[in-house]
Structure 1
Amino acid sequence: MKRYLTKNMVALLVACGTLVSCSSEQKTSLSSDKSISSSPIIKIEKFVAYTQKFNDTTTLKQNHATGHIGDFFFTHWKDGGSTSLTMKTNGEFNVSWQGGGYNYVGGPGWHYGDKNRVIGYRFDTDSGANFITVYGWGYDNTMPADDPAHLVEYYILQRWTDAYEPSQNGTFGKTFISNGIEYSTYRTLREEKPSINSTSTFYQYWSKPKQPLPLGKERQIIFADHVKAWADSGWALPNMNNFNASDDPTYQVMAVEVFNPPADGTASGRVWDARLD
């Protein structure tokens, strides 16, 4: 749930060199010897900011940044406050935030959604992020814009706090089991809110486990199970590989989100495409 900077503004920031800072110095204590090979990078010409790529440990401290770190796409966005995202080319990442009245969302993943993707991840620390979640968008520009189903923001929650509880305001769909975890689906409506396609009215789809999942364990999220569960609930997911939106393509990331954090905190882990293990 974020506001968007126009691509012209982002392109200007990229040209001015104000978006990112890079360093070969190791910025996190995360370690793993699992080899990584992600989906191939497709040349993106429409969204200028997405064409930047970094081949070393990268730390983002500015308000807005997108691009690739190694073979991974990343998004890093905040509307104020102080938050940094440090990434390595193998999918390791660390988000650090200071308390304040602002919203942040960011993390590594892919610049398009894939129904058959199996997202591997491990989270080692979490100091109270509102959401740790698979996060992405689907968009069908052939559907009427006044149909909320034409644009969908989706969440597969893994950890969360009670500051925002989708089951309290959402329409319940069904309960299902995926990879040994029981999830419940919910749908919420966002009316005239910022999105990847300017200000729009759109749906949010949620998959929520019975309780937040513990840290320190490697897990796999079978995305197709969630797509099916949403469809079984009557909620179709639009095109997840669409470059026709005004502000962003339909990316899919493992995101850390904080809003109005009451105190400083951090969340760290790693993401990979588990189909390639």
Structure 2
Amino acid sequence: MTYRLATSVLTSVLFLALAGCDTPSAPESAQPPASAATAAPAPEGKPPITKFTAYTQRFDGQTLLTQSHATGHVGDVFFTHWKDGGEASQQLDDQGNFKIDWIGGNYNYVGGPGWDHGDRNRVIGYHLNEDAGASFVTLYGWGYDKMMDPTDPAHLVEYYIVQRWTFLPGQGGEQGASFVSNGVEYTTWRTVREQKPSINNTATFYQYWSRPAEQMPLGVDHTIVFADHVKAWESNGWKLPDMNNFDASDDPTYQVFAVEVFGVEKGGSASGRVWDAGR
């Protein structure tokens, strides 16, 4: 779920959580911010992700997530939420409004709203009200092809389209093409993780990055045209495997707008809203 060089603690810890560790257990129930948030049945036409019942929950209305690890839905809004310590929480409603609070400390948190599968043609809209020093604010997801050779790093790809950061993303990797999408100049990078935890157990896989020349400002609407990033990665010869399947062992190939913090000195908050801008 996150980028780190081989010498970094972050990635190995975070991927371990995404992989559900070796012996996953069901997470605690989410807690409401005020009134009781009740688990809701899946809407008609959208069956629950039954394969991942240990990590999947569904809630109606505004929900407060404080547990260590959970994925699920608030209404039709998918979420991820994970931490390995400290105190961090995510408030989320069924309109994609979110607020993430964290304290300072030597721990890692990542979470945010989005979709339970990636879509190459998705256009993501977002608005950030505040960002008090998150390590990454990023579109984030996975692609996976179970038919490919598992020794080929291209069979499993973790991707980032970073919007704001305090830790430089993509450093130490292979630099690819630069391009302009929706008026924003990005540069692409590729890194490799060898035998590290992932959504499909321990694996060797690629990480694809897009990083803008300047960090995106707060208080205004932004649009991420995902297809532009896929095309840029492909121009480097970096193809994304299937982003719409439940074939991996531990999590679906989701796509979320994530806030991540790790090893931060001070507490803070990040809040805003995420929506499908292509509708």
TM-score, length basis structure 1 = 0.88
Where structure 2 has 5 or more consecutive residues not aligned to the other structure, the ranges are 3-13, 36-44
1:273 aligns to 2:276 (yes or no): yes
1:9 aligns to 2:24 (yes or no): yes
Give the drift of 1:19.
3.2
- Where 2:228 maps in the other structure, the secondary structure is helix
1:139 aligns to 2:158 (yes or no): no
Match of 1:77 in 2: 82
1:165 aligns to 2:172 (yes or no): no
- Where 1:107 maps in the other structure, the secondary structure is strand
The answer on whether the counterparts of 2:124 and 2:224 sit within 8 Å (CA) in structure 1 is yes
Which aligned segments of 4 or more residues in structure 1 are displaced greater than 4 angstroms?
none
Per-residue CA shift, 1:231-276, capped at 9, x if unaligned?
0011000000121111001000000011111110110010001112
The answer on whether the counterparts of 1:106 and 1:257 sit within 8 Å (CA) in structure 2 is yes
Quick one: which of 94, 101, 116 aligns to 1:96?
101
CA RMSD of the aligned region, Å?
Answer: 1.8
Q: Could you tell me how far apart the structure 2 residues matched to 1:165 and 1:123 are? A: 19
Q: Which letter does structure 2 place at the counterpart of 1:9?
A: P
Give the drift of 1:69.
0.6
Give the drift of 1:199.
1.2
TM-score, length basis structure 2 = 0.88
Quick one: which of 217, 242, 260 aligns to 1:214?
217
Q: Which letter does structure 2 place at the counterpart of 1:21?
A: Q
- Where 1:239 maps in the other structure, the secondary structure is coil
The answer on whether the counterparts of 2:169 and 2:211 sit within 8 Å (CA) in structure 1 is no
Q: Could you tell me how far apart the structure 2 residues matched to 1:113 and 1:21 are? A: 27
Q: Could you tell me how far apart the structure 1 residues matched to 2:23 and 2:276 are? A: 31
Q: Could you tell me how far apart the structure 1 residues matched to 2:165 and 2:262 are? A: 12
- Where 1:153 maps in the other structure, the secondary structure is strand
Give the drift of 1:89.
1.0
Matches within 5 A, 1:183-222: 183-222=186-225
The answer on whether the counterparts of 1:207 and 1:226 sit within 8 Å (CA) in structure 2 is yes
Give the drift of 1:66.
1.1
Q: Could you tell me how far apart the structure 1 residues matched to 2:277 and 2:169 are? A: 29
Q: Could you tell me how far apart the structure 2 residues matched to 1:201 and 1:120 are? A: 32
Q: Could you tell me how far apart the structure 2 residues matched to 1:93 and 1:260 are? A: 22
Give the drift of 1:24.
5.0
Q: Could you tell me how far apart the structure 2 residues matched to 1:51 and 1:127 are? A: 29
The answer on whether the counterparts of 1:175 and 1:185 sit within 8 Å (CA) in structure 2 is yes
1:86 aligns to 2:91 (yes or no): yes
The answer on whether the counterparts of 2:162 and 2:169 sit within 8 Å (CA) in structure 1 is no
The answer on whether the counterparts of 1:95 and 1:268 sit within 8 Å (CA) in structure 2 is yes
Per-residue CA shift, 1:35-58, capped at 9, x if unaligned?
xxxxx7343221114552111110
- Where 1:241 maps in the other structure, the secondary structure is coil
Per-residue CA shift, 1:141-182, capped at 9, x if unaligned?
111111111100000011011x3431x311011010101100
Q: Could you tell me how far apart the structure 2 residues matched to 1:60 and 1:193 are? A: 27
- Where 2:51 maps in the other structure, the secondary structure is coil
- Where 1:89 maps in the other structure, the secondary structure is coil
The answer on whether the counterparts of 1:7 and 1:48 sit within 8 Å (CA) in structure 2 is no
Matches within 5 A, 1:115-154: 115-154=120-159
Identity %: 58
Q: Could you tell me how far apart the structure 2 residues matched to 1:6 and 1:170 are? A: 27
Where structure 1 has 5 or more consecutive residues not aligned to the other structure, the ranges are 26-39
Aligned residues: 257
Give the drift of 1:115.
0.5
Matches within 5 A, 1:43-62: 43-49=48-54, 51-62=56-67
Q: Could you tell me how far apart the structure 2 residues matched to 1:84 and 1:7 are? A: 24
The answer on whether the counterparts of 1:19 and 1:64 sit within 8 Å (CA) in structure 2 is no
Give the drift of 1:6.
4.8
1:244 aligns to 2:247 (yes or no): yes
- Where 2:264 maps in the other structure, the secondary structure is coil
